[in-house]
Amino acid sequence: MAESGTVHENTTDANTTDPNTTDENTADPNTAGESTAGESAGATARNRTVRPGGGPRGVSRYVLRVIAIGYLFFLLVLPVALIVWRTFGDGLVPFVEALTSPSALHAFQVTLVVALWAVALNTVFGVGAALLLVRHDFPGKRLLGAFIDLPVAVSPVVVGLALILLYGRFSPVGGLLESWGLQIIFSTPGMVLATVFVALPLVVRSVVPVLEELGDEQEQAAHTLGASRFQTFLRITLPGIRSALAYGVVLCLARSLGEYGAVAVVSGRLVDQTQTLTLFVEERFQNFDQPAAFAASTALALLAVVTLLLTRLLRPKD
């Protein structure tokens, strides 16, 4: 093989078609005689590195592929598949029954309320902050960006603790709000705040790059033509960032539906009161009700898969 390589500049071509290769082999002595010895040696080295006989490189490629897929299979695919299989192992009926129990339905409802509030707040904030970061100039812009990214680095449990320290019953602010009849911690507002915290950067970071790319020429033109700023936003900016915004909202929604740690701390984990779907999974599992825990997990996993497919569709292509 290496011998044939010395002759032919295009070893790749030679190797792909067998008849050619054998031809080159037979013609080898002739052509080698025509070129000088030094050239031939150089060519040998060169061609060996480009395609060392086709064998070793192919094998190493195969090994890498097997390692990568094997790792993903045992870490991701098999565990998730097992849960789905256990959930539906006895048919659809136990799954539906487990998810339509009063506790499960209540958990669904709490999850949905909290997630929708959190997504609404973060979407409004996200678009506003992205416009601010891209379209406006002010001192401390980098600092604002860093603060927006801060939640990524904070443990969900610390998020919960932080909110308790400000809004808990025994803090000045929490006490004052409670005297007005507004309970934050161990109640829905606290769970919304916790969810907003953990999902805060997602919409901003999805919208910012697209806003930067769009530029503001069209907005300027609309302005010049007499459009109000609100009209400009509605007719020019919003359509421009539509898919990026949708991408951010989907990410934010997925994060909100799936948040566990921060909500576990601020909700007080009161069954049938502040229990979200993720808290339901944990509580059912700890109480040896595996079917319900698995069913709720499967429901959340299905949501995750839907999210993956949606983000795949919406992901900005650059």
Site string for other proteins, 13-32 (x = CB under 8 A): --------------------
**Of residues 161 and 271, the one with the C-beta less far from other proteins:** 161
**Of residues 27 and 59, the one with the C-beta less far from other proteins:** 59
**Of residues 113 and 158, the one with the C-beta less far from other proteins:** 158
The residue count for binding other proteins (CB under 8 A) is: 93
- Residue from 10, 16, 22, 220 touching other proteins (CB under 8 A): that is 220
State how far the Cα of 153 lies from the Cα of 236, in Å rounded to an integer.
Answer: 34
Task: Write the CA distances from 19 to 9, 22, 24, 48, 52, integer angstroms.
Answer: 17, 5, 9, 20, 19
- Residue from 203, 207, 249, 293 touching other proteins (CB under 8 A): that is 293
Minimal distance, residue 231 CB to other proteins, in Å: 9
State how far the Cα of 318 lies from the Cα of 304, in Å rounded to an integer.
Answer: 24
State how far the Cα of 296 lies from the Cα of 85, in Å rounded to an integer.
Answer: 13
Binders in 157-176 for other proteins, by CB under 8 A: 157-167, 171
Q: Does 259 bind other proteins (CB under 8 A)?
A: yes
Alpha helices in 215-315 (DSSP H): 217-224, 229-232, 238-258, 261-267, 277-286, 290-314
Residue 272 Rama label (left phi>0; alpha psi -120 to 50; beta)? left
Site string for other proteins, 46-85 (x = CB under 8 A): x--xx-x----x--xx--xx-xxx-xx--xxxxxx-xx--
Task: Write the CA distances from 141 to 97, 179, 237, 315, integer angstroms.
Answer: 52, 37, 21, 26
Q: Is residue 56 within 8 Å of 3, Cβ to Cβ?
A: no
Minimal distance, residue 18 CB to other proteins, in Å: 22
Q: Is residue 15 within 8 Å of 2, Cβ to Cβ?
A: no
Minimal distance, residue 100 CB to other proteins, in Å: 19
- Options 15-23, 93-101, 102-110, 222-230: segment touching other proteins (CB under 8 A): 222-230
Minimal distance, residue 212 CB to other proteins, in Å: 15
What angle (nearest 5°) sits at the alpha carbon of residue 278, between those of residues 266 and 291? 140
Q: Does 257 bind other proteins (CB under 8 A)?
A: yes
Minimal distance, residue 162 CB to other proteins, in Å: 3
State how far the Cα of 165 lies from the Cα of 172, in Å rounded to an integer.
Answer: 9
Binders in 115-144 for other proteins, by CB under 8 A: 124-125, 127-129, 131-132, 135-138, 144
Minimal distance, residue 91 CB to other proteins, in Å: 19
State how far the Cα of 37 lies from the Cα of 39, in Å rounded to an integer.
Answer: 6
